[in-house]
A and B are shown apart, each in its own frame.
Chain A
Amino acid sequence: MIVCVAVVGHQNNPLYIQSFTDADDALKLHHIVHCSLDVVDERVNNPKKSGPTLNETFLGLLYPTENYKVYGYLTNTKVKFILVTTDLDVKDADVRNFFRRFHAGYVDAISNPFHEPGKKITSKTFAERVSNIVKSFGFSSTA
């Protein structure tokens, strides 16, 4: 299950962060998302290490915490997407698929002429769309 998704801007500031848990551990998830930015930085700044993942938007598993897995995605405009999930056995393809759909949603949201680049995304449509993508996350592989 996806517990948290986030969009992080150029100054590593959160543009959109939403958790999907019933338990009230949103703050913890915020910490996790924030800490995962270190790994994104590390991967982006040392691309030689990541060899095959050069020019790849999907950053893969960023870091394992005890109960969560954190995945990252970097758009061409250097906006970061972070995904936190509790599933311990996740297929990379699922995550890639998720990020692709999420990216499409993000692009639509910021294409809104009333959206100012670099500011938080407050669109309700985007939020709905994200929650739909998140809900369908587990089923996408079977469907």
Chain B
Amino acid sequence: MEEYPEEMRSPPVSLVSVVGCSELHSSISTHLHSLDPPINTLALPDLSKVSLLLPPPKPNPVPGDSSAPPPAGILKRDWLLKHRTKVPAVVAALISSDRVSGDPAQWLELCSEIDNLKGLIRGRNIKLVLVVVHSNSNEEISEDQMVAVRKRAEVDAKYLLTFYTDDGSQSKQSLDRLGSVFAELAGIYYRDEGRRIKARIERKTSNPTDFNIRYSFKVAVYAEFRRDWVEALRFYEDAYHTLREVIAGASTRLSAIQRLVEIKTVAEQLHFKISTLLLHGGKILEAVTWFRQHNASYRKLKGAPESIFLHWEWMSRQFLVFAELLETSSAAIQSISPLTIGTSERPLTEWEFQPAHYYQLAAHYLKEKRSSLDFAVSMSEGEIDYSAESVAPSSYLGQFARLIEQGDTFVMQPLTDEEYMRFAISEGKRFQDSFEIIALLKKSCESYNNLKVRRMASFCGFQMAREYYAVGDFSNAKLLFDDIASLYRQEGWVTLLWEVLGYLREGSRKHCKVKEFIEYSFEMAALPISADTGIQSFRFEESGPAGPATLQQRETIHKEVFGLVSEKLGLASIENGDDLKVCDDNPLHLEIDLVSPLRLVLLASVAFHEQIIKPGKSTMVTLSLLSQLPLNFEIDQLEVQFNQSHCNFVIMDAQKPHVASLADGQSGRRRETAPSLQLSTNKWLRLTYDIKSDQSGKLECISVIAKMGPHFTICCRAESPASMDDLPLWKFEDRVVTHPTRDPALAFSGQRATQVEEPDPEVDLTLDANGPALIGESFIVPVTVTSKGHEVNSGELKINLVDVRGGGLFSPRDAELSTDSHHVELLGISGSEGEDESQLNTDEIKKIQKSFGLVSVPNLKSGDSWSCKLEIKWYRPKPVMLYVSLGYSPDNNESNTQKVNVHKSLQIEGKNAITISHRLMLPFRRYPLLLSRTKPVPDSDQSVSMPSNETSVLVVSAKNCSEVPLQLLSLSIEGDDNDDTERSRSVHGGEDLLHPALLVPGEEFKKVHTVTSEMNSSKLKLGNVCLRWRRNSGTREQAGSAALVLTNHRLPDVNLESSPLVVSLECPPYAILGDPFTYFVKIQNQTELLQEAKISLADAQSFVISGSHSDTVYILPKSEHMISFKLVPLSSGAQQLPRFTLTAVRYSTGFQPSIAASTIFVFPSQPHFKMVAVGDERKESVVAE
């Protein structure tokens, strides 16, 4: 676009001329320029110089004269420029007022100048404005004088202006008036001119077509001056269409080539104007459609074969200019959605709105131009170089002529077509098209990339890279090619990839890059190009340096690259002439990783047959190699590398003993042989070997290094068959797919890594625990470490207590955080008996936490043993898992030797040893009425209540609920603090157990206390039961060793309640048959109220009763009522006394003594007792079964 002159690129601006009074010119021109639309000003200092501006008019050719010679050209080259910069629409003569009002001489001079001016503008239709400049507002010119001036100049009254320079506001008004008059007159001028020319077009048929084009163009330009874009567009289009008619006759003319060039140049200019107007008007769709038509009309118009490069150059320029136009108005394009536009029969596609598309095509045509030009240059070689200096553009657009010096003046002489062609070719040779093409493609490529259109961008990049390649800029080309190749690899476009790789390969050859050359060659040779696709033979030039994509070509490349690595062939380098070789000085090493494109060349899959192996035991490992190279090839030596380097081994070809002999001198390396190391296309080479490792941990195959020829190696990363990716590119091919291993199961599950286990421990770890643990005691678990072959060095014993149920581990941290979880606690670890305590303390690491312990084990020789004891205490019944693990190293010397671990676990149940229960009893046959028992309160708790001021009996029993016999040492009740005063009880201390009582499992020990409450409090604290016991273990010494355990059991509180009535029954302890006795019922009223009680006594078979059967008695406050019955027993044995029933009316409650309490034993005759005194005072402490 920049090559167009400025007057073409911007819309035309009206031009006016101001003459005279030069001091005002700058303010006037500034003001006019700032108007909307602006007006350009042409200023001349005084009226006498006006002829410089307007040369005297030439006689116009008579319009419409058909006999006139045909025009020499279509458009004058400088016509537009002339009208924009030289021919004003309006001439304003500035006359200072003193000249008007001055003396007659001045007046005459003025008149002659005005006349002169009138003569100049006559016939040109240029408007005249007279401006009388007043430097002083007081100055007045008479009306007559003004009229005289106006008459003289023959201007309308309104075009005679007065201009005040002095005052600010008046000067501003004057400027405004001037501006509006100028705009009006300029509009009239351009309209009139347009009409004048349009009138000529009316007589179209009689005009030569060239004139019609010129006229239309002029009308359009005049319309543009007036900013009438619609009319401008119409006439430009008219001109454009008329031009099409000219083309038909062009070829018959004498200088057809030049004529065509001229037509195209004019068309280009018209097209440019039309496109600009359309795009500025926001009509992008129309612009694109217009461009498409323009392109379609002229694309076939190639002209003479020798000048075809001019056509391509012209085409390229069309696209470039349109791309630039589109780009400058690209902001508007964003809002366009492509598919809503475009007619149904000719839809427009997305890219047609993108400048990138046009840049790309501009580059395309420029390439066409270059090849045509090269051809033309080669044809014209040998001819005398034509001196181009004397050829210059002539006065008509698109025409060239020779300048011939004739004396002082230059004369334009038309050229013949041959001359013109020689000129054009020599001009064409001056330009470096490649760089231009690259620049265009780069723009297109960047633009496409911004749109995230990767494939188009790649295609542009590819063309760019080809240009770079052609001009020898290999580094730039390589960057682009590599980028493009990765896209083609990814999408599997093999033929396109082949082409790109061909360039890369050839480039590396030219620039002596052996490694790259070999890499690209290998990749090309391994591409999936089969015989089928080879049918489409590509033309050599088309497919670039790669040659046709065929199987034969792959084989050729294969042979070439193997010739190179086996050092039979050198790489012929073009750059500096000498061959490149892979040799001692220049060894070559290729790396193939999991994403390398060279995986096609060599793929190594390694599978261990076992997932887990024992140290020192051998297992099988299968190594499988696959290649897609088209021909068979042999590997001299394979080296398999593992992460444990001592496992590495080398595989030799058994058929090549000489190779094996010259192999590396590294001693100690394991060496295997294989029947053959030949790889053929798409066929796995499977090799299986033994492998063993003494080192535990992961054994992983890292890589397989194939050596071919003395100085060439390929390092291939080992892959697991189970997780192997498909081969890129080949995965789309219809090929036979085989497993890397013979065993299909291994192919699906095989891994390149295996786990080597730890060596088997030769140390015994024993945990002894006899029976369940009892709560409260410190339970001893002896741990014994016995060496059975291994020496134990730097041994370490870890102890862990784990909750069995929840699985919740007693990790040290948890135990610290939640105190609740300390149901079981590791108290300590004591060393083995007989070991020196001080040594133990200093040497051993001993860490003990609530559920975790760590203790170091002294060094043990084979056969030695060591033991320690774990003390564990239970607080709650809970099963616990005890884990003990011993870590040691069997070797003494090395610090890095592997640790061997032995684990043992034992589940230990924690159980309650003794359950303590208690009972509160009232004295025999005495029943206080406790109101809380008669009226069960819904929310009453289960706490026991006891009558106050009564003596109760408390029986505490301890039962052995464990499975081992226990020794009970003492049982006592101890008060909590100092609240003993609140109750009174008879305490018989534990020390009165002279010998420890033996409790066998299930046995119960009871102790009786009396409790009397004397206080008026409602609660009675009974205190804690303190039980001292130990495990009973047969012999006396062991019994002494077993630790004493103190078990505390808190007795619940008792409610105290005063009872209103107390009933007590009194009868003798026994009766004798036939012997009467008295049965008393005492009712004691403890209240301040009169109590009414109904009593009744039922008959009994075994007794004869005397006394009232039923009665109602009244008991006075705080007094006692006694009822007595006389009974005579009639039968012996345990007999039921007559049932006595009492009903307290006030409390609506009845009472009947229990059966046990109303039973009496009747002896048949008077018994005889022999009283024996018990040795001690234990009256209330009984051992009961």
Contact = CB atoms under 8 A, between A and B. Distances in A.
Interface in B23-53: none
A24 B537 contact: yes
Contacts of B538: 24, 26-27
Interface stretch (B234-242, B488-496, B797-805, B922-930): B488-496
A34 B495 CA distance: 11
Contact of A11 (B347, B459, B492, B499): B492
Nearest to B543: A27
A9 B347 CA distance: 26
Interface string A46-90: 000111010000001111101000000000000000000000000
Given A31-B459, A34-B455, A39 B537 contact: no
Contact of B493 (A14, A62, A120): A14
A49 B734 contact: no
Contacts of A19: 536
A92 to B, nearest CB: 8
Interface string A115-126: 110111010000
Contact of B539 (A9, A24, A42, A50): A24
B16 interface: no
A37 B455 contact: yes
Contact of A35 (B337, B455, B492, B537): B455
B734 A39 contact: no
A24 B542 contact: yes
Contact of A27 (B299, B350, B542, B731): B542
Contacts of A25: 539, 542
Given A31-B459, A38-B456, A49-B338, A60 B347 contact: yes
A27 B539 CA distance: 9
Given A38-B453, A39-B350, A66-B364, A27 B732 contact: no
B496 A27 contact: yes
A85 to B, nearest CB: 15
A63 B350 contact: yes
A28 B542 contact: yes
Contacts of B347: 60-61
A86 B741 CA distance: 51
A115 B734 CA distance: 8
Report which residue of A12, A25, A50 has the largest number of chain B beta carbons within 10 angstroms of its beta carbon.
A12
Interface string B512-544: 000000000000000000001000111100110
Interface in B357-377: 361, 364
Q: How many interface residues does chain B have, given as a range?
A: 35 or more
Interface string B475-502: 0000000000000001111111001000
A65 B1159 CA distance: 125
Given A24-B537, A27-B543, A38 B532 contact: no
A64 B340 CA distance: 17
A96 interface: no
Given A28-B542, A122-B532, A12 B491 contact: yes
Interface string B106-149: 00000000000000000000000000000000000000000000
Given A26-B538, A49-B338, A122-B734, A13 B492 contact: yes
Report which residue of A9, A14, A60 has the largest number of chain B beta carbons within 10 angstroms of its beta carbon.
A14
B864 to A, nearest CB: 68
Contact of A38 (B299, B352, B454, B536): B454
B166 interface: no
Given A38-B456, A42-B453, A119 B733 contact: yes
Given A42-B350, A62-B349, A30 B493 contact: yes
Contact of A120 (B337, B349, B352, B733): B733
A44 interface: no
Nearest to A23: B539
Contacts of B386: none
A82 B731 CA distance: 22
Contacts of B454: 38
B339 interface: yes
A1 interface: no
A15 interface: yes
B361 A66 contact: yes
Report which residue of A13, A27, A39, A120 has the largest number of chain B beta carbons within 10 angstroms of its beta carbon.
A27
Contacts of A35: 455-456, 459
Interface in B720-747: 731-734
Contacts of B299: 66
A26 B536 contact: yes
B951 to A, nearest CB: 99
A34 B459 contact: yes
Nearest to A21: B536
A140 B455 CA distance: 33
A63 B349 contact: yes
Contacts of B340: 49, 51
A13 B338 contact: no
Report which residue of A19, A30, A61 has the largest number of chain B beta carbons within 10 angstroms of its beta carbon.
A30
B412 to A, nearest CB: 38
A124 B932 CA distance: 106
A11 B487 CA distance: 11
A120 B731 CA distance: 9
A25 B337 CA distance: 33
A27 B538 CA distance: 7
Contact of B499 (A13, A27, A50): A27
Contacts of A34: 455, 459, 491, 493, 496
A39 B536 contact: no
A15 B349 CA distance: 25
Interface in B399-440: none
Given A27-B496, A27-B499, A34-B459, A120 B734 contact: yes
Nearest to A88: B296
B79 interface: no
B351 interface: yes
Nearest to A124: B532
Contacts of A49: 337-340
Contacts of B352: 64
B363 to A, nearest CB: 12
A119 B733 CA distance: 6
Interface of B: 299, 337-340, 347, 349-352, 361, 364, 453-456, 459, 462, 490-496, 499, 532, 536-539, 542-543, 731-734
27 contacts: A12-B491, A12-B492, A14-B492, A24-B539, A25-B539, A26-B536, A26-B538, A27-B495, A27-B538, A28-B542, A30-B493, A30-B496, A31-B462, A34-B455, A34-B491, A34-B496, A35-B455, A37-B455, A38-B453, A38-B456, A39-B350, A53-B339, A63-B349, A66-B299, A119-B733, A120-B733, A122-B532
Closest 5 pairs between A and B when the two form their complex, measured CB to CB: A13-B492, A24-B539, A12-B491, A38-B453, A38-B455
Given A14-B493, A24-B542, A63-B349, 18 more contacts: A11-B491, A11-B492, A12-B491, A13-B493, A13-B732, A24-B537, A24-B539, A27-B499, A34-B459, A34-B491, A38-B454, A38-B455, A39-B349, A63-B350, A63-B351, A66-B361, A119-B732, A119-B734
Interface of A: 9, 11-15, 19, 24-28, 30-31, 34-35, 37-39, 42, 49-51, 53, 60-64, 66, 115-116, 118-120, 122
